[in-house]
Structure 1
Amino acid sequence: MTNPDFNLLITLDVLLTEGSVAAAARRLQLSPSAMSRALARLRETMGDPLLVRAGSGLVPTPRALELREQVSLLVRDVESVLRPVGALDPAQLVRSFSLRTSDGFVENFGPALLARIGAEAPGVRLRFVPKMHKGRDRGKDRDWDRGRDSAPLREGAIDLETGVIGEATAPELRVQALFRDRFIGAVRMGHPLSHGEITAARYAAAGHIGVSRRGSARGAIDDALQPLGLERKVVTIVGGFATALALARGSDLVASVPERHTGNLRAGLFCFPLPITAPQITVSLIWHPRLDADPAHRWLRHCVREVCAATLGPVGDPQG
């Protein structure tokens, strides 16, 4: 049979359970004649009478007895597949998730996120995956987190990602904003910029650490300085904010970093608002639409959102 009618499985299950055409018809809300026609189709399809007359009732054939339990299991399995997803119990969840994040996210939000997951779902393992860039971009590195390869999300190698949405983000991906962030300056305690008014000219005149995974020396901060006739002296370029802050801590160089994303990394440094109008960024949660309705994935997204909201207060004066 090339195109089987799977509805016949349900009919067969009810007939074998009830042992009566009339009772099966009532259960399936069919007329007795419609049920009789369904039984005839089953007999023709399966090449067996299935139910035969014995006195005033029907009795199953050996073939029907052989199939009864198997058919019942098949019907229950189908009903389970088609049933709406029930509520998730995180405590019973056993699963691994991969979260691709930019520099600073793990240090700033990782401990609270792992504590939340460990308390709610001890069977869940979270793998943090760093962002990598393939090759170099000849253009300006205008946003610190815009380069994105969507293939791992699409193919399932990555479950979830955090980052800044840009032109490289595939349009089919789902996006939800987590928080807005602004760039600030960070220098060692005792640095000349830790005393007196920090003007745009003083800021630009200091030695700077550039942050770019593409290796670019120019970005949005340089664009903001240009109308003022000022230019930064970028002494070195590093691939991440943690490295930039480590260099700033042991030198006279300035690290310009996103405030909220680096909160736990700036301990012991003197931090100040940039004396220029630099664009703010929005850090978002990104995933593939095939995971939209997955209960476990929805639970993980909820955990990330709540951890970020609880960890971050309002953007305030970052000095000290």
Structure 2
Amino acid sequence: MPEPDLNLLIALDVLLADGSVAGAARRLGLSPSAMSRTLSRLREATGDPLLVRAGRAMVLTPHAQALRQRTQNAVQEARAVLRPSSVQPDFSTLQRTFTIRANDGFVEAFGASLIAAATAAAPRVCLRFVPKLEKTAAYLRDGSADLEIGVLGEMGPEVRVQALFRDRFVGVVRPGHPLATQREVTAEQYTAFGHVVATRRGRARGPVDEALAASGLERTIVAVVPSFPAALAVARASDLIALVPASLLGNQSEQHELPASTAAFVAMHAFELPVRTGEITISQMWHPRVEVDPVHRWLRQLARTVCHERRGDDRAALATATGSPTTPRSL
């Protein structure tokens, strides 16, 4: 069956409300003859005359009378569908689970703050963090993930991206380690000890090794673990040096006590690397399908705010821990 012309609904609504072909034509900006042809099409579509002569005026048929309110409701609902949403969510009663793909380091550094901020505004919201084992847009595209947080990879041209903060890598050793007393660690001292490296894809060597090689040096990697928190735990119980993002430490340094829940980080000593490596940008990514969803927009703004606030506090604390001032950079 051919699809009905839904434009006829608007004409029918005006005709039934006005009760006049000439009056409906004026309201719709049509000529009387064009409105008469539209009425003919409506009569054919509904199988009813709709408007009939009664002396010099026209009156609605019983079927037209029955359609009048239904037609008005249908037109109003259609217009509401095609109008930008103005309804603001009630966060006090909102029940929704957001799935966020992020690595363990982000969850360790920012998870608690983000959860606290979310539940303060929306007590019934649940943030479900899942591991990010690969960089792919598939989870955002099929809706199984609402948000992805990390370093931008090949995510596809349609994926929306917003920078959250810039990060850098630092060296970390246990308290009492020979390097823990050094105000500045040299490249020779750095390569004199074994190293534990965190990687999910098995690539143990990277920019640090390239920078060391330019000086004719090489570090000895004796352990590879799947996450930065695991690297910290290994370094805490050995003389190995861990390489971790500065955001993972924050104020979790030798001079600043940690929450009991992060025992693996307690009393660690952080230091600036003796070689220069580029900063990394941590971003949040989402599918355009949820671009204008007010609840999703609220979550994105919350993540950005939490990261900015935490990074502002963490920069000063890490500068104290490493003995080197850091200058915040705008994103």
Q: What TM-score do you get using the length of structure 1 for normalisation?
A: 0.86
Where structure 2 has 5 or more consecutive residues not aligned to the other structure, the ranges are 253-261, 323-331
- Partner of 1:189, secondary structure, is coil
Q: Which amino acid aligns with 2:229?
A: A
**CA distance 1:56–1:119, shift in 2 (3 Å):** farther
Q: Which amino acid aligns with 2:209?
A: D
Q: Which amino acid aligns with 1:39?
A: L
**CA distance 1:87–1:201, shift in 2 (3 Å):** farther
For the pair 1:319 / 2:329, whether they are aligned, the reply is no
| Match in the other structure for 1:163 | 150
2:200–2:227 contact (8 Å) kept in structure 1: yes
Where structure 1 has 5 or more consecutive residues not aligned to the other structure, the ranges are 134-147
| Match in the other structure for 2:220 | 233
For residue 73 of structure 1, report the CA deviation from its aligned partner: 2.5
2:89–2:294 contact (8 Å) kept in structure 1: no
For residue 37 of structure 1, report the CA deviation from its aligned partner: 3.0
Q: How does 1:93-172 map to 2 (within 5 A)?
A: 93-133=94-134, 148-166=135-153, 168-172=154-158
- Alpha-carbon RMSD: 2.3
2:21–2:32 contact (8 Å) kept in structure 1: yes
1:238-274 Cα distance to aligned partner (Å, 9 max, x none): 0001111111122221111010134356442111111
CA distance in structure 1 between the partners assigned to 2:306 and 2:249 by the alignment: 15
For the pair 1:213 / 2:200, whether they are aligned, the reply is yes
CA distance in structure 2 between the partners assigned to 1:62 and 1:231 by the alignment: 92
For the pair 1:181 / 2:167, whether they are aligned, the reply is yes
| Match in the other structure for 1:139 | none
| Match in the other structure for 2:259 | none
Q: How does 1:1-320 map to 2 (within 5 A)?
A: 2-86=2-86, 88-91=88-91, 93-133=94-134, 148-166=135-153, 168-196=154-182, 197-263=184-250, 266-313=265-312, 314=315, 316-317=318-319, 319=321
- Partner of 1:172, secondary structure, is coil
**CA distance 1:243–1:318, shift in 2 (3 Å):** farther
Tell me the matched-pair count: 305
Greater shift in the superposed pair: 58-67 or 240-249: 58-67
For residue 312 of structure 1, report the CA deviation from its aligned partner: 0.8
Q: What TM-score do you get using the length of structure 2 for normalisation?
A: 0.84
**CA distance 1:11–1:122, shift in 2 (3 Å):** farther
Greater shift in the superposed pair: 85-94 or 295-304: 85-94
Q: Percent identity?
A: 53
CA distance in structure 2 between the partners assigned to 1:235 and 1:103 by the alignment: 22
Q: Which amino acid aligns with 1:289?
A: P
CA distance in structure 1 between the partners assigned to 2:49 and 2:279 by the alignment: 75
